[in-house]
Amino acid sequence: MSAIRALVLAFSLAFLLAPGLSLAQADDSLEKVLIETADTPAEHQALAAHFRAKAAEAKESAARHRKMLMWYGSKNPGAVAQSGHCKKIAAKFDELAKDYEELAAGHEAEAKAKP
């Protein structure tokens, strides 16, 4: 099984280094391979840590948008459109963080279920 994983990883890295591939596409591709091949407790723990980090990033983005909401309010009390945007985006990042935390918890449970 480890030979197959090594082959998948080699192909993944070759794909990631292909010209014209954006960093976001590379991240998505690598994430997909890791999710599809995760089998051991350590691999599931690594994915859990990855998704916890993504949750933390989403929480930071939500907090940044809440700060922007305050800046718009203090700078221009009539900036209704901007403040509505900030509230909406912050709420979406909060939801995204929650979803990533749930993914992380799922991988932690998977890691515990594996022998």
Residues 58 and 94 in one domain: yes
Residue 73 tokens, joined: 């309010």
The b-or-e profile of 91-114 (16+ CB within 10 A means b, else e) is eebbebbeebbebbeebbebbeee
Q: Please tell me whether residues 20 and 59 are part of one structural domain.
A: no
Q: Is the pLDDT at 13 greater than 50, yes or no? A: no
DSSP assignment of the chain equals -HHHHHHHHHHHHHHHTSTT--HHHHHHHHHHHHHHH--SHHHHHHHHHHHHHHHHHHHHHHHHHHHHHHHHHHH-TT-HHHHHHHHHHHHHHHHHHHHHHHHHHHHHHHHHH--
Contact 37, 103 (CB under 8 A): no
pLDDT higher than threshold 90 for residue 5:
no
- Asked if 103 and 60 sit in the same domain, the reply is yes
**pLDDT for position 51:** 94
User: Helices 80-113 and 41-75 meet at what angle, rounded to 10?
Assistant: 170
Residue identified by tokens 């596409």 is 25
* Residue numbers of the domain that contains 55: 41-115
Residues 55 and 98 placed together within one structural domain of the fold: yes
pTM for the whole thing?
0.71
* pLDDT at 38 exceeding the cut of 70: yes
pLDDT in tens, 40-82: 999 999 999 999 999 999 999 999 999 988 877 666 666 777 7
Q: What is the number of structural domains in the chain?
A: 2
pLDDT at position 114 is 74
